[in-house]
């Protein structure tokens, strides 16, 4: 199942899967800015699936 993500929810879900260098405010701000731009441009979804071949068809049907 694909669940569309928008706004801050999309940004936080993507950010949670990024390597974060929390030692500098500038690099954190740049990463957050880049992810915000990406999520505003590219549709994001959360994918729920059983670990079997059916997920391949789901992805191919939604590309």
Task: Express each pLDDT in 19-38 by its tens digit.
Answer: 877 788 898 899 999 999 99
Using only C-alpha atoms, the chain has a radius of gyration, in whole angstroms, of: 14
| Average pLDDT over the chain, rounded to an integer | 92
Tell me: pLDDT of 12 over 80.
Answer: yes
Task: Answer whether 0.85 is exceeded by the pTM.
Answer: no
pLDDT at site 14:
95
Quick one: which of 4, 12, 2, 3 has its CA closest to 36?
A: 12
CA 29 – CA 18 distance, rounded (Å) = 14
The set of residues, in sequence order, having a beta carbon less than 8 Å from that of 53 and lying 6+ positions away, is: none
Q: In the chain, what are the domain boundaries?
A: 2-61
């Amino acid at each position: 199942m694909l669940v569309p993500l928008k706004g801050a929810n999309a940004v936080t879900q993507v950010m949670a899967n990024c390597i974060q260098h929390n030692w500098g405010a500038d690099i954190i701000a740049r990463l957050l800015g880049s992810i915000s731009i990406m999520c505003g441009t590219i549709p994001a979804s959360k994918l729920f699936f059983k670990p079997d071949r059916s997920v391949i068809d789901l992805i191919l049907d939604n590309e």
